[in-house]
């Protein structure tokens, strides 16, 4: 019903940009926030174009918007499973997470980012409880307590901790520059191993949990066919061979500071501005699902980016355009979801480029990068998808298709060419705006 009403309202206002419809297609939370922020501006624009009968149009628009809001709120519909795009995205993220894959989700609306973080966190916490309860043959509440006790088996001196240390030491010993950081790397890996989200996916909880179970966990493969041992080896190689001393320290510092427990308390307060943390049910958030947007402090943004680019926490990163350019996120992730599109196809390419880089997990595993463009059919969302994809095809026509990288000689020749005049480029450029037929 909300989408039917929104479609009717868009038909009534064909000359306006239906921001409320874009928000509705993103999430119910985004629609409610867009409705709150845009209502005053929406009415002001109508008043500027005041003509006879405009009050009637104004009233009609208010009526539709109020009915959409009522339909969204009815029976607690502000819920991840209720929205036709948010629900399936949460399902997809959880399926990939269950196979040990990291996921990068881009969204435009701040409210949608908060909602996705909330819904994925709640679903993940439920999944951990259910998986543990099934494996242990107990209730979900009992399973949480058992998982906490199992984590204590990685305390210093415990057999499970010694088994993990043996595997990690064997890996670190191959890389001379990491020798001074051996204990630090061990502590970082163990912090990850003892978390409930790792235990339920990589450890056979149905049998005695000891050194053999820990060694087996290092050999368990993720959805890309890479074992935890190989991921840790790749991380150690990267720190040793690709990082200088300062960058190596920055990565280790980031992993030391990233939470691995419940995402509450001082860390969430330090990580986000006040308006980002408000109205959030913090007790249900989990540490391996992180949100980065314009309200995130620069230091925290950098720390989360570095940590996501390792095999450890966080495992799900929900981001706005602040993470779409100039950052490396490829080392442990090959799944990108464009929850909200951009009108510019090059923006989508920039986002996807965060995981399509030299040394990417896709390259090491021999598996493809997966990119998702979800949309709600027969709504403003689908119209936007079709326009953006059409623009992308036109870019291919005007700029040419994919080509091989030029040789050094070809680069030298092209560099000596007389630059193409800006005036000529502007005059020959193809107008990619939406064409409106005459008489339409």
Cα separation, 385 vs 50, in Å, equals 33
pLDDT category, 159, cuts 50, 70, 90?
very high
Which stretches does DSSP call E strand in 168-311? 289-292
pLDDT at 284: 67
pTM: 0.84
Cα separation, 267 vs 287, in Å, equals 10
pLDDT at 34: 77
Cα separation, 282 vs 274, in Å, equals 13
Q: Please report, rounded to a whole number, the percentage of residues in the chain having pLDDT higher than 70.
A: 80
Q: Does the pLDDT of residue 76 top 70, yes or no? A: no
Q: Which residue has the higher pLDDT, 167 or 266?
A: 167
Q: What is the dihedral sign for C-alpha 244, 249, 252, 254?
A: negative
Q: Does the pLDDT of residue 270 top 60, yes or no? A: no
The mean pLDDT of 78-103, rounded to a whole number, is 90
The mean pLDDT of 79-97, rounded to a whole number, is 90
pLDDT one-digit tens code per residue, 300-342: 999 999 999 999 999 999 999 889 888 999 999 999 999 999 8
pLDDT one-digit tens code per residue, 359-379: 899 999 999 999 999 999 988
The mean pLDDT of 339-349, rounded to a whole number, is 90
Q: Return the ∠ at Cα 228 (arms to 222 and 231), rounded to 5°.
A: 100
pLDDT at 283: 56
pLDDT category, 39, cuts 50, 70, 90?
low
Say if CB 146 and CB 189 are below 8 A apart.
Answer: no
The mean pLDDT of 212-237, rounded to a whole number, is 96
Three-state DSSP class for residue 251: helix
Q: Does the pLDDT of residue 437 top 70, yes or no? A: no
The mean pLDDT of 400-410, rounded to a whole number, is 55
Q: Does the pLDDT of residue 176 top 70, yes or no? A: yes
List C-alpha distances in Å: 66 to 15, 70, 137, 160, 198: 21, 6, 49, 58, 45
pLDDT at 346: 87
pLDDT at 48: 37
In a 10 Å sphere around its CB, with 0-12 CB exposed, 13-18 middle and 19+ buried, how is residue 52 labelled? exposed
Structure tokens at 155: 């305390």
pLDDT at 144: 87
Q: Which residue has the higher pLDDT, 400 or 6?
A: 6
Residue boundaries of the structural domains of the chain: 2-76, 86-372
pLDDT at 41: 47
pLDDT at 286: 87
232-236, 274-278, 295-299, range with greatest mean pLDDT? 232-236
Say if CB 228 and CB 220 are below 8 A apart.
Answer: yes
């Amino acid at each position: 019903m909300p989408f039917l009403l929104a479609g009717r309202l868009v038909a009534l206002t064909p000359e306006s940009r239906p921001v409320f419809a874009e928000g509705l297609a993103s999430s119910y939370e985004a629609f409610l926030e867009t409705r709150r922020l845009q209502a005053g501006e929406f009415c002001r624009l109508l008043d500027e174009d005041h003509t006879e009968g405009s009050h009637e149009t104004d009233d009609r628009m208010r009526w539709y918007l109020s009915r959409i809001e009522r339909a969204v709120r009815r029976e607690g519909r502000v819920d991840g499973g209720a929205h036709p795009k948010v629900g399936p995205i949460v399902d997809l993220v959880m399926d990939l997470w269950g196979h040990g894959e990291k996921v990068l989700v881009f969204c435009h609306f701040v409210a949608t980012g908060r909602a996705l973080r909330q819904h994925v966190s709640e679903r993940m916490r439920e999944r951990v409880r259910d998986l543990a309860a099934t494996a242990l043959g107990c209730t979900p509440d009992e399973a949480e307590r058992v998982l906490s006790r199992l984590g204590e088996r990685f305390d210093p001196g415990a057999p499970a901790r010694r088994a993990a240390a043996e595997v990690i030491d064997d890996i670190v010993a191959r890389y001379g520059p990491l020798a001074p950081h051996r204990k630090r790397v061990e502590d970082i890996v163990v912090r990850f191993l003892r978390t409930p989200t790792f235990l339920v996916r990589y450890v056979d909880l149905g049998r005695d949990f000891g050194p053999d179970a820990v060694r087996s966990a290092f050999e368990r493969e993720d959805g890309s066919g890479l074992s935890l041992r190989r991921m840790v080896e790749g991380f150690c190689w990267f720190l040793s061979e690709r990082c200088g001393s300062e960058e190596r320290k920055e990565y280790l510092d980031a992993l030391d500071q990233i939470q691995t427990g419940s995402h509450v308390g001082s860390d969430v307060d330090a990580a986000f501005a006040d308006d980002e943390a408000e109205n959030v049910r913090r007790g249900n958030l989990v540490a391996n699902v992180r949100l980065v947007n314009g309200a995130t402090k620069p230091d925290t943004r950098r720390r989360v980016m570095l940590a996501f680019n390792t095999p450890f926490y966080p495992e799900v990163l929900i981001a706005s355009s602040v993470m779409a350019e100039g950052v490396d996120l490829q080392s442990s992730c090959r799944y990108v979801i464009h929850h909200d599109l951009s009108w510019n196809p090059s923006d989508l390419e920039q986002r996807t480029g965060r995981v399509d880089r030299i040394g990417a997990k896709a390259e090491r595993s021999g598996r493809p990068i997966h990119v998702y463009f979800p949309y709600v059919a027969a709504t403003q969302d689908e119209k936007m998808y079709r326009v953006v994809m059409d623009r992308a095809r036109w870019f291919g026509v005007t700029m040419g298709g994919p080509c091989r990288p030029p040789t050094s000689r070809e680069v030298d020749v092209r560099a000596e060419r007389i630059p193409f005049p800006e005036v000529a480029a502007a005059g020959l450029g193809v107008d990619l705006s939406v064409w409106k037929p005459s008489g339409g």
